[in-house]
Structures are given as structure tokens and as C-alpha cells.
């Protein structure tokens, strides 16, 4: 069975963490390493499973240290590279793997907003053929548009759009030379249709969708498949970590009362939606696994049918007027914007 080498960004939590753990523990052996490479740094007991050791840890390799002149030593080629901006958060992945890191996995420091970090990670991976690139790093921004600062909006685009662009640019040339490869992008329902109080986030994901659709056309003769995995609500730390104004905080004080009321109602809607309809990480992983393994993966894969009626309405309504009204009713209920909701 051929070995498949995968690099995943954004593996400190959520989908990235779940996918890295699933691939590294793959029972079929498809992702099992073979041969010898040279790893630097860390401490490892000979003959024992690789473990995260305070002050060391073979499997945690900061990109800035990949060019170290320390004496190298042999270890198995890891076909799954799990990357994250902050290696201090690697403990979560280790816990998922039962406290020991298998020979099939190596964790690299990679910040998609830092070209030097990307270049160092790409240099590390170039020692072997990268078959699949999963661009999963992302951040959110929620709230009334009037409260979104320039810096917050730039950060969203720097990670979600330009981070994906930089990552693809770093690994695409080698795939083109081999005329083979797969690029999988963690997208969102918010890249297909506008969501209230997510204007900037949706704008970044709309841009990612356009980027990938355009790129897929060019990559077809190179036998490089590109797939957008469009998730709806998923129970991860993404919602808790995204930037958003405190509904009782000072940021909303300058807003009109009606917008503040709509925002409060939207937050209640989100809470209800995540409670009743959110998917678990394990529910969305099959879409990524299919994009990795199927002979001809699709350009788009939606992981939930929750928004399917709205999606169809958006396409069926030539001017999208019906969609806007339907989405408003779905989120805020029927009737006037400031009225009581059932």
C-alpha cells in the first residue's frame, strides 16, 4: 500500500487536531512512515514510544529551529505533519493520542501569516513527497460591522485568505513538478451565503471560494485536485475564540438600539443552533478523508444539509431578494425586526 504524506495547518484544536489524530492512527497503515530521515532537537528513549518531554520532544519541531546545526539522529519518516502557530498547544494533540506520539506524526511550528515560518516548514517537508495539503488554519470575527476595527478585519483576511494563499504558494510548485497532489481547504457555509453579523468573516470565505474555484481550473492539467470542505456549525473552540463584542460591553453603546437588539437576538439564535444542530468534529472528518482518498474528489463538499433550503433559494432567486428575507426570518423570526419572537 502506498504511503500518503499529508500536511495540515491549524492543528492545535478542532478539525485540524481531529484530522491529524485520525490520520496518524490510521489502522490501514496508509499513513505509516518508512525509511529514515534526520530529526533534530528533543529527547527520546530508545525503543520507547515518542513522548512530549518537558524541554524537548522529538515530535515538536519549531520551524525556526529546523536549520539548527545540532547533531542529527535517525527516526522514522512521519507522513502526517500537524502544524500549529503555538507549539505550547501541542499538548491537546498528544492527549488525543493517549500521551504518546506515533512514528506516523510530526508536529511543526507554522504560522500562516509569517512567510519565514512557512518557508522553514516547507524546507522540512521537502525531504519527502507531499501528497496532500490541508489548509485548515482560520479565525473568526463576529458582530455589527460598525464595531469591527481595521486591525481585526485585516487579521481575519491575513489568516483566512492570505494565509491560505501563502501556504498554497509554498507547496504548489513541488506538486506541479510531480504533476500530482491534493489541496483541501477548510471553508464554510459562510463562504457560500451571507450570514448576519459575520460580514467580514463571510467576505474572507467568499474570497477563499473564488480563489480556489479559479485555481482549480488552472490545476486540472497538472493532475492536482482542489477541494473546498464547507462546514456549518461544528462543536469546536472556534466560536469561543472568535473576536466579538460583549453584548453588554461598551463597544455597542454607540450603536442604535435596533441593531443592538438584533445582535442580542442573533447571539441567542447561535446558542440555540449550536445546541440543537451543530456537528461534532468526527461528523465532518469523513468529508476530508474522502477528499484525500477518492480518485476524483469534488471541488466542493458541504458537510451539513442544515442550510440546504436557503442555499437552493439563493440560487433560485435571480436577485437574491427572497434569500435575504428568508435568512432574516430564519435567524430573527417572522415579523418586524424589533418585535417579540415566538
Query: Which residue among 201, 263, 266, 323 is the active-site one?
Result: 201
* Residue 140 buriedness (CB in 10 A; 0-12 / 13-18 / 19+): buried
Contacts of 336 (CB under 8 A, 6+ apart): none
Q: Is-catalytic flag, 201?
A: yes
* Cβ pair 314, 243 in contact under 8 A: no
* Cβ pair 212, 300 in contact under 8 A: no
Cell of 232: 456549518
Q: Which residues are catalytic?
A: 201
Amino acid at each position: 500500500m502506498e504511503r500518503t504524506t499529508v500536511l495540515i495547518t491549524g492543528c492545535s484544536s478542532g478539525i485540524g487536531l481531529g484530522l491529524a489524530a485520525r490520520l496518524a492512527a490510521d489502522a490501514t497503515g496508509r499513513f505509516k512512515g518508512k525509511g529514515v530521515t534526520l530529526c533534530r532537537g528533543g529527547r527520546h528513549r530508545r525503543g520507547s514510544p515518542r513522548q512530549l518531554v518537558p524541554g524537548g520532544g522529538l515530535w515538536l519541531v519549531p520551524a525556526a529551529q529546523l536549520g539548527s546545526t545540532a547533531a542529527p539522529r535517525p527516526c522514522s519518516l512521519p507522513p502526517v505533519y500537524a502544524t500549529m502557530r503555538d507549539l505550547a498547544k501541542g499538548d491537546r494533540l498528544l492527549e488525543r493520542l493517549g500521551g504518546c506520539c506515533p512514528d506516523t506524526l510530526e508536529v511543526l511550528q507554522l504560522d500562516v501569516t509569517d512567510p519565514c515560518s512557512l518557508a522553514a516548514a516547507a524546507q522540512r517537508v521537502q525531504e519527502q513527497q507531499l501528497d496532500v495539503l490541508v489548509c485548515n488554519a482560520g479565525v473568526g470575527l463576529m458582530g455589527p460591522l460598525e464595531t469591527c476595527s481595521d486591525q481585526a478585519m485585516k487579521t481575519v483576511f491575513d489568516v483566512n485568505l492570505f494565509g491560505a494563499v501563502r501556504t498554497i504558494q509554498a507547496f504548489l510548485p513541488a506538486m506541479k513538478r510531480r504533476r500530482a497532489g491534493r489541496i483541501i481547504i477548510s471553508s464554510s457555509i459562510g463562504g457560500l451565503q451571507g450570514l448576519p453579523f459575520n460580514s467580514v468573516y463571510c467576505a474572507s470565505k467568499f474570497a477563499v471560494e473564488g480563489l480556489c474555484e479559479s485555481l482549480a481550473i488552472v490545476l486540472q492539467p497538472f493532475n492536482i485536485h482542489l477541494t473546498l470542505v464547507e462546514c456549518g456549525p461544528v462543536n469546536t473552540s472556534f466560536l469561543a475564540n472568535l473576536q466579538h463584542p460583549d453584548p453588554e460591553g461598551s463597544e455597542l453603546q454607540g450603536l442604535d438600539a435596533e441593531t443592538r437588539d438584533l445582535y442580542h437576538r442573533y447571539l441567542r439564535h447561535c446558542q440555540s443552533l449550536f445546541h440543537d444542530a451543530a456537528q461534532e468534529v468526527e461528523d465532518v472528518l469523513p468529508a476530508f478523508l474522502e477528499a484525500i482518498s477518492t480518485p476524483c474528489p469534488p471541488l466542493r463538499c458541504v458537510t451539513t444539509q442544515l442550510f440546504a433550503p436557503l442555499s437552493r433559494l439563493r440560487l433560485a432567486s435571480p436577485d437574491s431578494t427572497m434569500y435575504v428575507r428568508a435568512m432574516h426570518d430564519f435567524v430573527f423570526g417572522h415579523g418586524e425586526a424589533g418585535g417579540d419572537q415566538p
